[in-house]
Amino acid sequence: MGEFVSLEVEDGIGTIRLNRPPMNALNQQVQTELGEASKAAAADPEVFGVIVYGGEKVFAAGADIKQMQAMGYTDMVRAAQGLQEFTRALAAIPKPTVAAITGYALGGGCEVALACDFRIAADNAKLGQPEILLGIIPGAGGTQRLARLVGPSRAKELIFSGRFVDAAEALAIGLVDEVVPAEEVYAAARRSMARFRGGPALAMAAAKEAIDRGLDVDLQTGLEVERMLFTGLFATDDRQIGMDSFVANGPGKASFTGR
């Protein structure tokens, strides 16, 4: 798809692959291509789940600091919107997503992982938001998504210190969901997404939207979001198929169409 980011689809699982050696630094071109790949995966009806993968050695070691070094305030005013757009596009994919993390996932790389629904890490993974060491803060969603995932106190400690978190600690604090040997990360991510094959696509999208939008509002507003999305699913074929199958054959036997 792009020079540094590709979307490969196999058996309904889309893999967004970062390939900018040696460290998959997220310059503006990579950011743009990642956003485009996310939108393509979202729009592809053959894709039911998405893996974001940086390869066997590194996920993404952060923004391209050499590119940012020469930027002034007015330059960043123009660039900052794009800095968040690519992680917003990834987070907005209306399908399950998982980051398959090997090696470093730092700064912008960690923010890419945070924009996914799940994170599977290699036992050699290192995650962190070290922007404070450069005199700045995370700018692609890290202050918001990290706090929502691990809680504000832990997020502040990690962002204030800029320290790296190894795989074991990341699992303990909920920053990642699973830790596997480094050579098994991509296979584990495929297994994670394969669970959703044949699922009701519109209901999955509604569930993701209800959870994500609900986190940004008060409880009563979140309940209203849920109510509207729940009601809307009664206009889908899959709702009728699922309920008819349940009554006739019990749970877990429906063959959904995605409509």
What is residue 80's predicted lDDT score, i.e. its pLDDT?
72
What is residue 69's predicted lDDT score, i.e. its pLDDT?
80
35 sits in the region (left: phi over 0; alpha: psi -120 to 50; else beta) called alpha
Q: Which CATH number fits domain 201-249: 1.10.3470, 3.40.50, 1.10.12, 1.20.1090?
A: 1.10.12
The answer to whether 111 is a known catalytic residue is yes
The alpha carbon dihedral of 88, 93, 95, 97 has a sign of negative
DSSP strands (E only) in the chain: 5-10, 13-18, 49-53, 97-101, 104-106, 118-122, 126-128, 165-166, 178-180
User: Domains of the chain: which residue ranges?
Assistant: 5-194, 201-249
Q: How many CB atoms lie within 10 A of CB 227?
A: 11
Q: Which two tokens stand for residue 227?
A: 């109510």
Q: How far is CA 223 from the centre of its chain?
A: 24
Cα angle at 185 between 183 and 186, to 5 degrees?
A: 105
Active-site residue, selected from the candidate residues 60, 61, 63, 201: 63
What is residue 146's predicted lDDT score, i.e. its pLDDT?
98
What is residue 248's predicted lDDT score, i.e. its pLDDT?
95
The contacts of residue 136 (CB under 8 Å, 6+ apart) are: none
Active-site residue, selected from the candidate residues 62, 108, 109, 242: 108
What is residue 169's predicted lDDT score, i.e. its pLDDT?
98
What is residue 62's predicted lDDT score, i.e. its pLDDT?
81
Q: Which fold has domain 5-194?
A: 2-enoyl-CoA Hydratase; Chain A, domain 1 (3.90.226)
The answer to whether 85 is a known catalytic residue is no
The answer to whether 108 is a known catalytic residue is yes
The answer to whether 79 is a known catalytic residue is no
Please give the average pLDDT of every successive group of 10 residues along the chain, which has 259 residues: 94 97 93 96 97 97 78 78 88 98 97 98 98 93 96 98 98 98 97 96 97 95 97 97 95 92
Active-site residue, selected from the candidate residues 37, 42, 111, 170: 111
For residues 162 and 160, what is the distance between their CA atoms, to the nearest angstrom? 6
Nearest to 13 by CA among 213, 187, 194: 194
Active-site residue, selected from the candidate residues 105, 131, 142, 206: 131
DSSP 3-state of 165: strand
